Structure formats: C-alpha cells, structure tokens
C-alpha cells in the first residue's frame, strides 16, 4: 500500500514514520510513504503558497495552483483532505482505507485550503475529531498508523485486530501483567483463577460496564 502525504512541512514526518511499528512496516516494504511539498510547485520569486482570504478575515488560505499541480497527477489515488470540517475518523474509515492501493493525504495549514481544491481534487474530507489543531499533519499520521497496523502481515496475530475496541462497538477490558501485587494493589482474583469461562465472563462484563459509563453513544447509536 502507498500513501502520498501533501504537506508544507515534510520534515514533520521524519521520526514518526521511522520508529516502531510504522518504521518496520516501511522497511519491510509493506507500506510506502511519499512526501510531497506543494511549495515545489509554487511560482514567483517568493514561491508563495498561501494568501489572504477573499472577503477578509483572519489568517491565510493555501492557494489553489500549487495544490492543483500537486494533486492533479494523483487522480488515480483516493485523495483525502484532513480538516476539522470533515467526517470524524473512525475504525470503519481506517478499514476502508486499508483495502485501497494508494491513498493521498492533504494536510491543510492556516485557515485551510482554497475550496476549489476540495471541489476538483479531493474525494473525501476527514477530521481527527471535534477540536482544532494547527494543521492536518497529526491527523495524517493517525491515518497512516491506524491503517498500517491493519495491513496483512503487519500484526503477528491477526486475531488481535479482529477482537479489539470499536469493531464491536465496545471499549476493551482492563489488562494486568506481573506482579500480581504491587504496593498492596492486587490484580483481580478472577484473572489468576485459571477458569477461562469465568475470565471471559468477567471481561465481557467489564467491556459492557466501561462502555456504558464512558461511551454510551456506542451502545445507543
């Protein structure tokens, strides 16, 4: 699978794409990431990529020409614009992207991009959540990480992505590891019982209770 990341700050991605899981997946050839800087298509002595908004207002808007020249040759890919105005990212969206061959992620900065870019060169708008960041870069990294771990061959045990949170609209149960007691804080007895039916029943109850307490929307929707 290939990602094209369009960003004015390609250096933002260096270490997140090199370390840990995504770093290994790239070295193994499972996923490829190309970084594209729209400034390479900027014209004029100042190589300007943003300008003041028509109609006035605060901030700057990313200009249509450098983005058009960057995104037009990527028409064969699924082109996603990361913006707080998009549909909130969820597991179903990551699943869908993980079945695509090539996904392009456009990171906005400032007040966003000229709307003509969205109209003519973007297939889908995605938000990381209901809050405003400085740009789409962190959201693009979230997509890359969330998709990479779903790719066949990326996770040792495929069951570990099948049974996780959100696929079944439930939060996961709490986990413990050794020691069984630390500073008098004991691991729940049932987990040490060796009784697998009781353990699964306890886990199921924990998932239901946590979801009810923290994310009732997952149950009600």
Binding site for ligand ADE (CB under 6 A): 82-84, 108, 127-129, 131-133, 135-136, 139
What is the smallest separation between the CB atom of 107 and ligand ADE, expressed in angstroms?
A: 7
Nearer to ligand ADE, 71 or 128 (CB): 128
Q: What is the greatest pairwise CA distance in the chain?
A: 72
Residue 140 Cβ, how far from ligand ADE at the closest point, in Å?
8
48: Cβ contacts below 8 Å, ≥ 6 apart = 42, 63
My answer on whether omega of the bond before 179 falls inside 30° of 0, hence cis, is: yes
Report in angstroms how near the CB of residue 171 gets to ligand ADE at its nearest.
Answer: 22
Q: Of the two residues 54 and 131, which places its CB atom closer to ligand ADE in the complex?
A: 131
16 vs 23 by CB, closer to ligand ADE:
16
Token output for 150: 């779903």
Closest CA to 175 of 203, 200, 147, 213: 203
Integer Cα distance of 78 and 103 in angstroms? 5
C-beta closer to ligand ADE: residue 9 or 202: 9
Q: Which residue's CB is nearer to ligand ADE, number 129 or number 153? A: 129
Is residue 140 within 8 A of residue 116, CB to CB? The reply is: no
CB 151 within 8 A of CB 98: yes
List, in sequence order, every residue forming a beta bridge with 62; answer none if it has no partner. 50, 113
Q: How far is the CB of 133 from ligand ADE (least distance, A)?
A: 4
- Least distance (Å) from ligand ADE to the CB of residue 80? 10
């Amino acid at each position: 699978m290939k990602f094209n990341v369009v960003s004015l700050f390609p250096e933002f991605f260096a270490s997140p794409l090199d370390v840990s899981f995504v770093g290994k997946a790239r070295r193994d050839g499972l996923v490829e990431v190309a970084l594209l800087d729209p400034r390479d298509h900027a014209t004029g002595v100042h190589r300007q990529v943003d300008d003041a908004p028509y109609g006035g207002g605060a901030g700057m808007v990313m200009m249509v020409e450098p983005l058009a020249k960057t995104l037009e040759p990527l028409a064969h890919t699924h082109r996603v614009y990361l913006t707080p105005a998009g549909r909130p990212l969820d597991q179903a969206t990551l699943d869908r992207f993980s079945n695509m061959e090539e996904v392009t992620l456009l990171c906005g900065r400032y007040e966003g991009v000229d709307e003509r870019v969205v109209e003519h060169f973007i297939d889908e708008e995605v938000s990381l959540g209901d809050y405003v960041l400085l740009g789409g870069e962190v959201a693009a990294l979230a997509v890359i990480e969330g998709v990479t771990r779903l790719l066949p061959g990326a996770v040792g045990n495929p069951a570990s992505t099948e049974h996780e949170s959100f696929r079944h609209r439930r939060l996961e149960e709490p986990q413990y590891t050794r020691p069984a007691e630390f500073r008098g804080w004991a691991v729940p007895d049932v987990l040490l019982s060796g009784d697998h039916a009781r353990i699964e029943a306890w886990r199921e109850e924990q998932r239901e209770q946590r979801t009810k307490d923290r994310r009732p929307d997952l149950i009600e929707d």
